[in-house]
Amino acid sequence: MHLEEFAEGNSFFHRLDPRVKFITIMPYIFVIAIMQGTKGPLLALIISLLIVAFTRISVKKLIGRLIVVNTFIFILWIFLPFSYPGDAVFHIGPLEATHEGFLYVLSITLKANAIVLATIAILGTSEVFSLAHALVHLKVPDKLVHLFFFFYRYISVLHEEYERLENAMAIRAFKAKTNMHTYRTYAYLVGMLIIRSYDRSQRIYKAMLCRGFKGKFRVMSHFELKRGDVVFGLLMTLITSVMGLLFIL
């Protein structure tokens, strides 16, 4: 399981100070999220695509991620046009698809893709642990940072555990079907994972106690703001402000 596939690389964005990344992307996402209409979101999508182009990350992998996001959005395309009031475009039986409905779901699609692309391009190009460090430096509460970091540290361990259990099922000729036996087996699998995760968390906590843990992590490496970071920070803030002024106010 590889969670950091976009973090490998050596573009300007890979070297960018993660603190600056957080400070600039949060307002950017916020502005996109509260935009109305389709013009603003379209511009945001173009800007996000430009940022992606600069990171030189694999387009194939990127499309893989976008398919996941857009699968959910596809469902909106089925339902929203029929449930939004406005001028009818066409009818299916008693159902009416409206012009406004289509524009609304288009706006959502553009916004979601703009946000996902920007997040992958800006945050995805840093390793998770440097993002966690950045959060510490930005004075995010310790508990939240620990939660974020431990989730990342142990998700792959949990995934390996899941694969072992799945293999154990496979070598005894288990095949998933639509029946009680399959549901029960998967329930056992999930239950087993929960128990094992709980046990592991207890062991990790004990190991931390043995090394004198008192609730605080000390950060060893510190970031240094470079000129590129400042330039990017200012540029991104300018873009966000202009977008906000044009499409929200």
Partner 1 sequence: MNREEYLIEIRDLCFSYANGRKVFNSLNFSLKSGDRIGLTGPNGAGKTTLLHLIMGLLKPNSGEIKIFGKVRKEEKDFTEVRQRIGLLFQDSDDQLFCPTIEEDVAFGPLNLGKSLEEARAIVRETCEKLGLKGFEKRITHRLSSGEKRLVALATVVAMNPECLLLDEPSTGLDEMSTERFLKYLKEYSDTYIIISQDHGFLKDVADKIYRLKDSKIEMWGELKKTKKIVI
Residues that bind partner 1 (CB under 8 A): 127-129, 132-133, 149-150, 153-154, 156-157, 200, 203-204, 206-214, 217-218, 220
Write out the chain in H/E/C secondary structure: CCCCCCCCCCCHHHHCCHHHHHHHHHHHHHHHHHCCCCHHHHHHHHHHHHHHHHHCCCHHHHHHHHHHHHHHHHHHHHHHHHHCCCCEEEEECCEEEEHHHHHHHHHHHHHHHHHHHHHHHHCCCCCHHHHHHHHHHCCCCHHHHHHHHHHHHHHHHHHHHHHHHHHHHHCCCCCCCCCHHHHHHHHHHHHHHHHHHHHHHHHHHHHHHHCCCCCCCCCCCCCCCCHHHHHHHHHHHHHHHHHHHHHCC
CB 17 to partner 1: min, Å: 17
Between 59 and 209, whose beta carbon lies closer to partner 1?
209
Residue 131 Cβ vs partner 1, minimum distance, rounded to whole Å:
10
Q: How far is the CB of 164 from partner 1 (least distance, A)?
A: 13
| Pick 84 or 129: Cβ nearer partner 1 | 129
Q: How far is the CB of 220 from partner 1 (least distance, A)?
A: 5
Helix crossing, 18-34 with 99-122: angle to 10°?
A: 180
Which CB sits closer to partner 1, 139 or 218? 218
CB of 107 to partner 1, least distance (A): 39
Nearer to partner 1, 21 or 111 (CB): 21
**Which residue lies nearer to partner 1 by CB, 12 or 217?**
217
150 or 183, CB closer to partner 1? Answer: 150
Nearer to partner 1, 186 or 213 (CB): 213
What's the closest the beta carbon of residue 138 comes to partner 1, in angstroms? Answer: 17
Min separation Cβ 15 and partner 1, Å: 16
Two tokens, residue 178: 């639509």
Whether the CB-CB separation of 118 and 65 falls below 8 Å is answered with no
8 A C-beta contact, residue 143 and residue 216:
no
DSSP state of 95: E
